A and B are shown apart, each in its own frame.
Chain A
Amino acid sequence: MSFEEIKELIARKFGENAIAGEEHTGLQPALQIKPDIIAEVCMELRDNEQTYFDMLSCLSGVDYGVEENMFGVIYNLASIPNKTQLTLKVKKYHDRSREELPSFPTVSSVWRTADWHEREAYDLMGIWFDGHPDLRRILLPDDWEGYPLRKDYQVQEYYHGIKVN
């Protein structure tokens, strides 16, 4: 299925509003999906026999910079039988308040591999995944302060009495 056909399929199943935009700037086009329904869209793309994106290649959390205050998650899907690839994006405004993290629905029920990927995005980027069964830090120690890949990250001075920076 081509990119346009996939777009139509999503619009047909989830309504025109499901697609928040699309990008054709680079070599790989990307579809921007409304954040609330990303898990359902992923499930449909996985189970639909025409698309059959049975593998989640990569999931990346992104901080779009201090001016925009946008956070996003990017899903790189791959279909093994059809040998196709697709990029999905979700984006959300967040004011960087410390009380609440930017949150997106989890896709770990669609692909189990998203489990560790989302933990990594939470760990390094501070993105919360609603409904994730095991959202703990994965690469950094449990009591690390802050989220290092954010653009406004300030490294803590001491960690357990060890000078960090």
Chain B
Amino acid sequence: MKNIAPTRYEQLIAEAQSTEMILNIGPQHPSTHGVLRLEVITDGEIVREVIPHVGYLHRCFEKHAENLTYQQTIPFTDRMDYLASMNNSHAWVMGVERMLGIDKEIPKRIEYIRVLVCELNRIGSHLIALGTYGIDIGAFTPFLWCFRDREHIMNMLEWASGSRLLYNYIWVGGLFYDLPVGFEERCREFVNYFRPKMAELNELLTDNQIFISRTANVGVLPLDVAINYGCSGPMLRASGLKWDLRRVDEYSVYPEIEFDIPAGKGEMGTTGDCWDRFKVRIDEIEQSVHIIEQCLDRLQSDLKRTSDFDPRARLPKKIIPKAQDFYLRAESPRGELGYYFITDGKTEIPKRVKARAPSFHNLSVISEISRGVLIADLIAIIGSVDIVLGEVDR
């Protein structure tokens, strides 16, 4: 082992002044959103340095994926970002389908159902982000409202797939089942119910002066720093860049669907502050509702269910992609979710799989944007990043 120089971490701890204190936050602290441990060097109330320690939820995704077939790995991808399982498996399935070269043959109805459930899941995931952010700041009511509305989404997805959180619904070449009879109507009811509820949430929280004073101009993330740290999703968009892989890569049926890309404008303070990140998620929910309506329009008109429609008709019997390396990226609620496959062309098992988790990168920027803030603001910054530790640690 050729370790010589002390690492940055060792230096930071060794050089802490006698007036400074090293404070541990987490891993079992509610405001760290899971099992994140932060070592914070503080001078009184002021944060000098933040050192995140991750890995408490490491479940060896990449090691498991080397021993399982592509189809068997789908439930494992669900467990990475457990708040947005549909989006995770959608990305995985698209990657495998592209490698097999069957991505153009998937029936339109299946693609629209995939987009529909992904966007439902995106709303559910953002609702958790917004609700728990309220709790971090000290507002309890929005949390209950968000969970009340998310419950409808959970019930619908449970109806379609059989489970509430980890669906295993999107399969390579098709779906687990077709949508249950009456799903489209139920979904439309939900959309009509949900629109006014979002307006209520905005009145209660987004435009609330206490909330604005607590989040505006806090944790400002400049655009160049965001890009250099590989931030993506709402984090990057809040810094003012309209970068959405659904538009950039135009995968699935997104090119046929109309939606805007919300970006931070610094309405309440500086572009890229905590309020902007919150606001981008609010706007994205709006856009997702819009996407869902368009999907429902198609699913209820020209792509209507027929009695002979079988979502498993095109499942490949054996999934053996030819030998290659392939990186696929897709937009999950937290940002750019990527899978890097290395296949040998002989077996049904990939040689190596690497998952590029958006939360992992979004979290790494924390120490950069929280130097010199108050400890209370540090909590506001962590909440605004919206990490899911299942994905950070994989």
Stretch from B24-32, B78-86, B282-290, B356-364 contacting the other chain: B356-364
Grouping DSSP codes into helix (H, G, I), strand (E, B) and loop, the B interface class, with mixed when no group exceeds half, is mixed
Interface string of B353-386 (1 = CB under 8 A from A): 0101000110010001000000000000000000
Q: In the complex, are the beta carbons of B227 and A76 less than 8 A apart?
A: no
21 contacts across the A-B interface (CB closer than 8 A): A23-B325, A25-B323, A26-B323, A54-B228, A55-B230, A57-B327, A57-B336, A57-B338, A58-B338, A58-B356, A60-B354, A76-B356, A85-B327, A100-B1, A100-B2, A111-B230, A112-B230, A135-B3, A136-B9, A138-B54, A140-B55
Whether B306 sits at the interface, judged by CB under 8 Å, is: no
A23 to B343, CA, bound (A): 14
A25-B324, A28-B326 as given contacts; A62 in contact with B342, CB under 8 Å: yes
Residues of B within 8 A of A (CB): 1-3, 7-9, 54-55, 58, 60, 62-63, 66, 98-99, 227-230, 241, 243, 248, 322-327, 329, 336, 338, 340, 342, 351-352, 354, 356, 360-361, 364, 368, 393-394
Q: Shortest CB–CB separation between residue B127 and chain A, in angstroms?
A: 28
Which A residues are CB-close (under 8 A) to B342? 62
Q: In the complex, are the beta carbons of A133 and B8 less than 8 A apart?
A: yes
Whether A134 sits at the interface, judged by CB under 8 Å, is: yes
Which residues of A101-117 are within 8 A (CB) of B?
101, 103, 111-113, 115-116
Q: In the complex, are the beta carbons of B326 and A134 less than 8 A apart?
A: no
The tally of CB-CB contacts under 8 A between chains A and B is 107
A149 to B60, CA, bound (A): 9
A115 to B329, CA, bound (A): 20
A26-B322, A26-B324 as given contacts; A62 in contact with B352, CB under 8 Å: yes
Q: In the complex, are the beta carbons of B228 and A116 less than 8 A apart?
A: no
Residue of B8, B327, B329, B368 contacting most chain A CB atoms (<10 Å) = B327
Which B residues are CB-close (under 8 A) to A138? 54-55
Whether A20 sits at the interface, judged by CB under 8 Å, is: no
Q: In the complex, are the beta carbons of A135 and B325 less than 8 A apart?
A: no
Which A residues are CB-close (under 8 A) to B55? 137-141
A74 to B228, CA, bound (A): 18
Q: Shortest CB–CB separation between residue B331 and chain A, in angstroms?
A: 13
A30 to B352, CA, bound (A): 16
Q: In the complex, are the beta carbons of A60 and B340 less than 8 A apart?
A: yes
Selected from A65, A74, A141, A149, the residue in CB contact (under 8 A) with B340 is A74
Which B residues are CB-close (under 8 A) to A111? 228, 230
Which residues of A138-160 are within 8 A (CB) of B?
138-141, 148-149
Selected from A80, A115, A124, the residue in CB contact (under 8 A) with B227 is A80
Which B residues are CB-close (under 8 A) to A101? 1-2
A149 to B322, CA, bound (A): 23
Which A residues are CB-close (under 8 A) to B329? 57, 78
Q: In the complex, are the beta carbons of A27 and B360 less than 8 A apart?
A: no
Which residue of chain A lies nearest to B55 when distances are taken between CB atoms in the complex? A139
Q: How many residues of A contact B (CB 8 A)?
A: 44
A57-B329, A80-B243, A149-B63 as given contacts; A115 in contact with B364, CB under 8 Å: yes
Which residue of chain A lies nearest to B62 when distances are taken between CB atoms in the complex? A149
Q: Shortest CB–CB separation between residue A106 and chain B, in angstroms?
A: 12
Which residue of chain B lies nearest to A110 when distances are taken between CB atoms in the complex? B228
Taking A57-B327, A148-B63 as known contacts, 14 extra A-B pairs with beta carbons closer than 8 A to each other, sorted by chain A number, are A26-B99, A26-B324, A26-B326, A57-B230, A57-B329, A57-B356, A74-B340, A100-B2, A113-B228, A115-B364, A136-B9, A138-B55, A139-B58, A149-B62
Q: In the complex, are the beta carbons of A134 and B7 less than 8 A apart?
A: yes
Q: Shortest CB–CB separation between residue B274 and chain A, in angstroms?
A: 21
Which B residues are CB-close (under 8 A) to A87? 325, 327
A76 to B338, CA, bound (A): 10
Q: In the complex, are the beta carbons of B327 and A58 less than 8 A apart?
A: yes
Q: Shortest CB–CB separation between residue A93 and chain B, in angstroms?
A: 18
A65 to B55, CA, bound (A): 26
Q: In the complex, are the beta carbons of A116 and B326 less than 8 A apart?
A: no
A58 to B230, CA, bound (A): 9
Which B residues are CB-close (under 8 A) to A23? 325
Which A residues are CB-close (under 8 A) to B356? 57-58, 76
Which residue of chain B lies nearest to A133 when distances are taken between CB atoms in the complex? B8
A135 to B9, CA, bound (A): 9
